[in-house]
Amino acid sequence: MSKVKKQSKQVKQASHDKHHPIICQIVGRCHVGESNRAVLKYVISRLDKKMKTWRGMPRDERRKLMVAVFECHLANFQLYSDVMTGKVTYERYKPL
């Protein structure tokens, strides 16, 4: 397995195991081509009181949320890239 594939697999696995599934679900609704800033704005728009909640969070909490959002978005992009280049294969879809 190439170094890029290993790294890609590790990032995908880490982002989905490490972060809350709701965060990954919200980020999953965004297109992989969107910028990190646009994805973060979308996540903030899904908070209870939107920007007021964001500003009320302690700085370290905001940073953790930002990192989680960016890592989930990167994992989604890498999955998209792997699918579109044909690197993802599934045993049950193998031709007979």
**pLDDT tens, position by position, 13-51:** 555 567 889 999 999 999 999 999 999 999 999 999 999
Q: Which residues of 6-45 are buried (b: 16+ CB within 10 A; e: fewer)?
A: eebeebbeebeeebeeebbebbeebebeeeeeebbeebbe
pLDDT tens, 46-80?
Answer: 999 999 999 999 999 999 999 999 999 999 999 89
Q: How many domains does the chain have?
A: 1
Residue 54 included in any domain? yes
Tokens of residue 19, six digits = 């972060």
Amino acid 3: pLDDT: 52
Residue 3 included in any domain? no
Residue 64 included in any domain? yes
Question: What's the pTM?
Answer: 0.74
Q: Is the dihedral of CA 78, 79, 82, 87 positive or negative?
A: positive
Tokens of residue 62, six digits = 């905001």
Residue 90 included in any domain? no
Q: Which domain does 31 fall in, by range?
A: 26-85
Residue 18 included in any domain? no
Residue 46 included in any domain? yes
Residue 57 included in any domain? yes
Q: Residues near 77 by Cβ (< 8 Å), separated by ≥ 6?
A: 32
Residue 65 included in any domain? yes
